[in-house]
């Protein structure tokens, strides 16, 4: 064979390859667009139809494999997902993976269209194909970006709020088995603090002090509210604070009178000021002080605390789209008595939240529903706080989490402070899922008998009530039926027949569905 003949053969080979690829091209621009859409929905199919069978089969296999793996993990490995979702390092890897998959998906769509479009196209057909591919790429890029931002928001939230045990200090945090934190903990006692450090106030007050005692097997939860004006809060006998205050936190030299600077809501600020470092190394001495005192007062071992900043609370209510509550009496917006720690000059409320069933409250009004106390009693305020927590738990659903997670995470960074370590977050999330579907009740500490005033509460009597309420029941009894709703069309509006509030035996556990039902027979006093 002559040199010229061999050269001619080499030059003709590429033409044969291009000819084979052309046989797979769509004959019309509209058909190419349809096949490109199919390639976006089933990655790899377009490459196979365009003649790149091996590459297309590889991409299709990877796509199906990822879908099967995702379904398997989602259905059978929830523990792994929870561990993954609270690990900052793994979340960073997940962000890179999401971005990488999005880029690969866009490349597959573009490459498929190039293989499928006709060799000869009019200007209009080429423009239509380019615009369609651009829209497909945009449709892939937007959810990919949102997914990556959501994963990074989760990483930022976990890293900002929950520190690892080695990177944080606590004088009261228990040592637990990281693999099974509740193995030796039949009940988890969590201290919920509402911190008030608003404009015009000096320091920080904990106006809201609630203990959530959670059965780690069932998720059944008892909420126990403490009054802000309790004095003589006790400390455990083995605590250095017990040596300083053997008869509880108060000043005997002032006599048996109300001592606002020795109230429960002043302890977070005042004890660390009076005795800095007395408990040892800690990132939040005020919270550790309250964990010890509240635990001793109620006869419980407080495991962890969660401190809520009220400004962040308002933001998170708005982020979830508001909460729905029953308002049984007028609740003041603002107002100040002009007395007690952190108070301003006396002023009346600027308005009221009017009574009514199933009221949807935004963050501003939800905050005042929980905080309002001008002209109302502390027990009524505590009940509204418990109902606010109950409504918030019930309002969070998967759709809200998916669509508004970035706002929720951003608010959560400002909302929360805690000593719960990163290492046990998966177990906490599992327990939280149980709580959402379990029975949540309120424990009545019998104010009329055990603390008619805040000067000298009967802590021993309250301890007995708490133990009775949280002790396992041999035959659990069903709670009283909740208030029923009767809807009648009247001028386009719906009304609910009010019901009287069920009578609760002191120390009994009252179901929050009953406690928070619509029964406008009380005055809040």
Whose CA is closest to 411, among 163, 169, 98, 153? 153
If asked whether residues 123 and 196 sit together in one domain, one would say no
Asked if residue 317 is part of any domain, the answer here is: yes
Quick one: CA dihedral 513, 519, 521, 523, positive or negative? positive
| Per-residue model confidence (pLDDT) at position 487 | 41
| Per-residue model confidence (pLDDT) at position 205 | 79
If asked whether residues 390 and 442 sit together in one domain, one would say yes
Dihedral, 127, 133, 136, 142 alpha carbons, nearest 10: -90
Rounded-to-integer distance, Cα 434 and Cα 429, Å: 9
If asked whether residues 153 and 218 sit together in one domain, one would say no
Contact 273, 262 (CB under 8 A): no
If asked whether residues 121 and 194 sit together in one domain, one would say no
Number of domains the chain is built from: 2
Rounded-to-integer distance, Cα 47 and Cα 39, Å: 8
Q: Residue 401 — φ and ψ, nearest 5°? A: -60, -40
| Per-residue model confidence (pLDDT) at position 428 | 87
Using alpha carbons, list the distances in angstroms from residue 134 to 11, 91, 179, 353. 36, 30, 48, 51
For residue 223, what are the β-bridge partners? 212, 442
Which one-letter DSSP state was computed for residue 166? Answer: G
If asked whether residues 317 and 203 sit together in one domain, one would say yes
Cα(first)–Cα(last) distance of the chain, in Å? 110
| Per-residue model confidence (pLDDT) at position 83 | 73
| Per-residue model confidence (pLDDT) at position 399 | 60
Pairing status of strand 221-225 against strand 440-443? parallel
CATH assignment of the domain containing 226: 3.40.630.190
Domain boundary among 448, 470, 492: 470
If asked whether residues 109 and 196 sit together in one domain, one would say no
| Per-residue model confidence (pLDDT) at position 502 | 56
If asked whether residues 255 and 140 sit together in one domain, one would say no
Asked if residue 400 is part of any domain, the answer here is: yes
Domain boundary among 126, 161, 196: 161
Whose CA is closest to 33, among 135, 117, 137, 104? 117
Whose CA is closest to 238, among 165, 287, 171, 191? 171
Domain region containing 95: 29-161
If asked whether residues 101 and 228 sit together in one domain, one would say no
Rounded-to-integer distance, Cα 172 and Cα 288, Å: 6
| Per-residue model confidence (pLDDT) at position 65 | 92
If asked whether residues 328 and 429 sit together in one domain, one would say yes
If asked whether residues 208 and 73 sit together in one domain, one would say no
If asked whether residues 92 and 207 sit together in one domain, one would say no
Asked if residue 347 is part of any domain, the answer here is: no
Q: Residue 274 — φ and ψ, nearest 5°? A: -75, -30
Which one-letter DSSP state was computed for residue 493? Answer: B
Rounded-to-integer distance, Cα 70 and Cα 66, Å: 6
Q: Which residues does 157 contact at the CB level (< 8 Å), separation at least 6?
A: 409, 412, 413
Rounded-to-integer distance, Cα 446 and Cα 448, Å: 6
| Per-residue model confidence (pLDDT) at position 285 | 95
Asked if residue 273 is part of any domain, the answer here is: yes
pLDDT in 10s for each residue of the chain, 525 residues: 555 555 445 444 444 444 445 556 656 888 888 889 999 999 999 899 888 999 999 999 999 999 998 888 878 777 677 777 777 888 888 899 999 999 999 999 999 998 888 877 788 888 888 899 999 999 999 989 988 888 888 888 787 788 888 888 999 999 988 888 998 899 999 999 987 654 444 557 788 899 999 999 999 999 999 998 999 999 999 999 999 999 999 999 999 899 999 999 999 999 999 999 999 999 999 999 999 999 999 999 999 999 887 767 788 888 888 899 999 999 999 877 665 555 556 778 888 999 999 999 998 999 889 888 888 887 888 888 888 888 887 776 656 555 566 666 666 666 788 999 988 888 888 888 888 788 888 898 998 899 998 999 999 999 999 999 998 765 545 444 444 444 444 333 334 455 555 555 655 566 777 778 888 876 676
Helices within 239-279 (DSSP H only): 240-244, 264-274
| Per-residue model confidence (pLDDT) at position 295 | 96
Strand ordering across the sheet containing 205-215: 416-418, 304-309, 187-196, 205-215, 221-225, 440-443, 509-511
């Amino acid at each position: 064979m002559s040199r010229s003949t061999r050269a001619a053969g080499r030059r003709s080979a590429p033409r044969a390859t291009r000819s084979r690829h052309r046989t797979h091209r769509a004959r019309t621009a509209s058909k190419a667009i349809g096949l490109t859409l199919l390639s976006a929905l089933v990655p790899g199919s377009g490459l196979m139809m365009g003649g790149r069978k091996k590459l297309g089969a590889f991409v299709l296999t990877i796509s199906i494999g990822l879908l099967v793996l995702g379904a398997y993990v989602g259905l059978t490995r929830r523990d792994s997902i929870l561990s993954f979702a609270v690990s900052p390092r793994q979340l960073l890897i997940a962000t890179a993976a999401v971005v990488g998959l999005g880029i690969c998906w866009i490349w597959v769509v573009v490459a498929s269209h190039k293989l499928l479009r006709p060799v000869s196209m009019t200007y209009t057909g080429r423009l239509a194909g380019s615009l369609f591919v651009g829209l497909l790429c945009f449709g892939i890029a937007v959810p990919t970006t949102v997914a990556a931002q959501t994963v990074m928001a989760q990483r930022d939230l976990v890293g900002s709020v929950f520190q690892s045990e080695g990177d944080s200090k606590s004088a009261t945090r228990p040592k637990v088995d990281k693999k099974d934190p509740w193995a030796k903990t039949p009940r988890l006692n969590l201290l919920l603090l509402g911190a008030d450090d608003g404009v015009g106030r000096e320091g920080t007050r904990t106006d809201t002090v609630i203990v959530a005692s959670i059965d780690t097997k069932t998720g059944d939860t008892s909420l126990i509210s403490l009054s802000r004006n309790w004095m003589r809060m006790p400390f455990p006998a083995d605590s250095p604070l017990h040596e300083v205050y053997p008869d509880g936190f108060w000043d005997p030299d002032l006599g048996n009178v109300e001592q606002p600077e020795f109230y429960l809501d002043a302890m977070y600020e005042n004890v660390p000021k009076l005795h800095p470092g007395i408990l040892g190394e800690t990132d939040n001495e005020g919270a550790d002080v309250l964990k010890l005192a509240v635990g001793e007062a109620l006869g419980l071992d407080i495991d962890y605390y969660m401190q809520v900043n009220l400004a962040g609370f308002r933001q998170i209510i708005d982020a979830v789209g508001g909460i729905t509550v029953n308002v049984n009496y007028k609740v003041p917006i603002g107002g100040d008595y002009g007395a007690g720690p952190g108070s301003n000059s006396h002023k009346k409320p600027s308005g009221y939240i009017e009574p009514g069933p199933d009221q949807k409250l935004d963050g501003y009004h939800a905050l005042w529903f929980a905080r309002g106390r001008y002209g109302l009693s502390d027990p009524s305020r505590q009940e509204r706080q418990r109902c606010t927590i109950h409504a918030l738990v019930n309002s969070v659903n998967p759709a809200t989490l998916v669509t508004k997670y970035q706002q929720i995470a951003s608010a959560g960074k400002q909302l929360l402070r805690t000593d719960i370590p990163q290492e046990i977050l998966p177990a906490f999330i599992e327990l939280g899922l149980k709580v959402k579907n379990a029975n949540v009740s309120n424990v009545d500490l019998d104010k009329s008998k055990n603390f008619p005033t805040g000067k000298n509460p009967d802590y021993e009597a309250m301890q007995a009530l708490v133990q009775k309420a949280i002790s396992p029941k041999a035959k659990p009894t069903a709670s009283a039926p909740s208030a029923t709703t009767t809807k009648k069309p009247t001028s386009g509006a719906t009304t609910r027949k009010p019901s009287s509030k069920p009578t609760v035996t002191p120390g009994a556990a009252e179901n929050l569905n009953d406690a928070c039902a619509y029964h406008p027979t009380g005055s809040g006093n």
